[in-house]
């Protein structure tokens, strides 16, 4: 039973925490805990294993659903042995599915996975409040086993977003392991801060009140995460597909421009189907100084792509890339710096077929070269050889 002073303190703090969390969700642009910026994606494309490690660390430190779950795990643990045991169980769980699912390209809907992760936060807080005995009159499941199971689900959440990046086919396992090491380093850093915070509150007379407030807040946080992810799932599952003008991101001094608003009639339009986890390329033959415009879009899925060119009569396999990213559409105009084939390489990272509609107009010869990528085609995260 709470004394009147403690009860008033509880009520005031709970209202403040609810208001703070509500503001966080109303004004945050990073609602999806696993979201990655275009800058992060580009660093992965151009970087190596160190980039994966760094991204893993920053991703964990910004992944508030994972952090909330870890915070719930350690809340009532007081000995190093118990902390190490339960955190290790969570680490093993999410590492297994992160590595296995990513290496074998197993993909699940990330909105649904994140919704379950939100419920996992509710579960750990409910267990901390002894809710199974108080409200359900049953003994709680074995906590260590449940943390391993829920860790497996968290690992799927990490894997679904990692697979959205252009992972290197040559060093796939090392890329995944590097990312996972970064996740663990970020988790250790966050864990140190959490333990210091809890230890400081444990020494006060209000720790019991603090623990009740915190775990009810975790339930609220997990519930909000669940509702928001389910809303995101409904939105993406039922929304009508539409095309918006996309600004092409330019690398270096590549002569690409994105202003093609005046293009009405396209000279050629082609539909391209990429099988699950497949890749294809499409090329135009262009003379030096000639210009063409283009626009392509998928049926909703973002693809890794490389807009590049190879010089005519070259036998060395050299090529020059102008735009490399992960998008669902791109538009632009291009003036060829040399005579040769110019076009696109797409890779489908998803487990479903993806439809691409490509439209072009300008000074080029259609080579009808729609085919699976050859060994000489640009590959994920490989070093690109620029022309001198």
Q: Give a yes or no: residue 382 inside a domain.
A: no
Residue 333: its pLDDT value, please?
87
Do 261 and 189 fall into the same domain?
Answer: no
**What residues pair up with 281 in beta bridges, in sequence order?**
345, 371
Do 262 and 215 fall into the same domain?
Answer: no
Q: Give a yes or no: residue 243 inside a domain.
A: no
Do 230 and 277 fall into the same domain?
Answer: no
Interval 267-279 mean pLDDT = 86
Do 144 and 265 fall into the same domain?
Answer: no
Q: Give a yes or no: residue 296 inside a domain.
A: yes
In this structure, what CATH number is given to the domain that contains residue 279? 2.60.120.680
Q: Give a yes or no: residue 196 inside a domain.
A: yes
Of the chain, the percentage scoring pLDDT greater than 70 comes to 73
Q: Give a yes or no: residue 60 inside a domain.
A: yes
Residues 106-149: tens digit of each pLDDT = 878 778 899 999 999 999 999 999 999 999 999 999 999 999 99
pLDDT band at 222 (very low <50, low <70, confident <90, very high): very high
pLDDT surpassing 80 at residue 156: yes
Q: Give a yes or no: residue 10 inside a domain.
A: yes
Single residue among 187, 206, 238 that ends a domain in this structure: 238
Beta-carbon count within 10 A of 251 CB: 17
35, 110 in Cβ contact below 8 A? no
pLDDT surpassing 50 at residue 73: yes
H-helix or E-strand spanning residue 268: strand 268-274
**Which value, to the nearest 10 degrees, does the dihedral of the CA atoms of residues 84, 87, 92, 95 take?**
-130
The average confidence (pLDDT) of the chain is 78
Which domain, by its residues, includes 331?
256-372
| Among 364, 382, 342, CA closest to 256 | 342
Name which residue leads in pLDDT, 100 or 43.
100
How many whole angstroms separate alpha carbon 335 and alpha carbon 363? Answer: 10
Do 210 and 298 fall into the same domain?
Answer: no
Q: Give a yes or no: residue 244 inside a domain.
A: no
Q: Give a yes or no: residue 378 inside a domain.
A: no
Do 193 and 156 fall into the same domain?
Answer: yes
Name which residue leads in pLDDT, 23 or 143.
143
The pTM for the full model equals 0.61
How many whole angstroms separate alpha carbon 66 and alpha carbon 265? Answer: 49
Alpha carbons within 13 angstroms on the beta-carbon side of residue 298 total 20
pLDDT surpassing 60 at residue 104: yes
- Residues 269-284, buried b or exposed e (16+ Cβ, 10 A)? eeebebeeeebbbbbb
Do 233 and 291 fall into the same domain?
Answer: no
User: How many domains, in total, are found in the chain?
Assistant: 2
Do 70 and 212 fall into the same domain?
Answer: yes
Residue 371: its pLDDT value, please?
52
Do 91 and 208 fall into the same domain?
Answer: yes
How many whole angstroms separate alpha carbon 225 and alpha carbon 227? Answer: 6
pLDDT band at 215 (very low <50, low <70, confident <90, very high): very high
């Amino acid at each position: 039973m709470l004394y009147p002073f403690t009860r008033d303190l509880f009520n005031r703090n709970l209202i403040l925490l609810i208001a703070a969390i509500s503001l966080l969700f109303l004004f945050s642009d990073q609602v999806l805990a696993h979201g990655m910026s275009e800058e992060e994606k580009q660093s992965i494309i151009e970087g190596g294993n160190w980039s994966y490690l760094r991204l893993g660390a920053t991703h964990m430190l910004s992944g508030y659903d994972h952090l909330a779950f870890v915070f719930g795990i350690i809340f009532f643990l007081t000995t190093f042995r118990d902390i190490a045991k339960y955190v290790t169980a969570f680490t093993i769980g999410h590492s297994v599915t992160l590595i296995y699912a990513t290496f074998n390209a197993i993909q699940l809907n990330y909105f649904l996975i994140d919704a379950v992760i939100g419920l996992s936060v509710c579960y750990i807080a409910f267990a901390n409040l002894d809710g199974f005995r108080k409200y359900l009159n049953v003994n709680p499941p074995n906590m260590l086993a449940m943390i391993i199971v829920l860790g497996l689900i968290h690992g799927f959440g990490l894997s679904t977003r990692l697979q959205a990046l252009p992972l290197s086919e040559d060093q796939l396992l090392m890329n995944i392991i590097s990312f996972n090491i970064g996740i663990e380093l970020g988790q250790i850093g966050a864990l140190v801060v959490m333990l210091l915070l809890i230890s400081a509150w444990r020494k006060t007379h209000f720790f019991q009140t603090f623990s009740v407030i915190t775990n009810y807040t975790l339930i609220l946080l997990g519930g909000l995460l669940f509702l928001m992810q389910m809303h995101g799932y409904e939105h993406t599952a039922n929304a009508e597909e539409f095309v918006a003008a996309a600004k092409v991101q330019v690398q270096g001094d590549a002569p690409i421009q994105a202003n093609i608003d005046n293009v009405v009639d396209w000279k050629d339009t082609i539909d391209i189907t990429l099988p699950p986890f497949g890749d294809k390329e499409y090329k135009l033959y262009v003379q030096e100084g000639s210009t063409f415009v283009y626009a392509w879009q998928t049926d909703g899925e973002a693809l890794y792509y490389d807009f590049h060119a190879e010089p005519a009569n070259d036998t060395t396999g050299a090529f020059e890339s102008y735009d490399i990213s992960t998008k669902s559409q791109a538009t632009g105009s291009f003036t060829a710096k040399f005579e040769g084939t110019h076009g696109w390489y797409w890779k489908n990272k998803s487990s479903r077929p993806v439809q691409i509609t490509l439209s072009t107009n300008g000074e080029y010869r259609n080579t009808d070269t729609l085919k699976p990528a050859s060994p000489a085609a640009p590959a994920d995260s490989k070093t690109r050889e620029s022309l001198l």
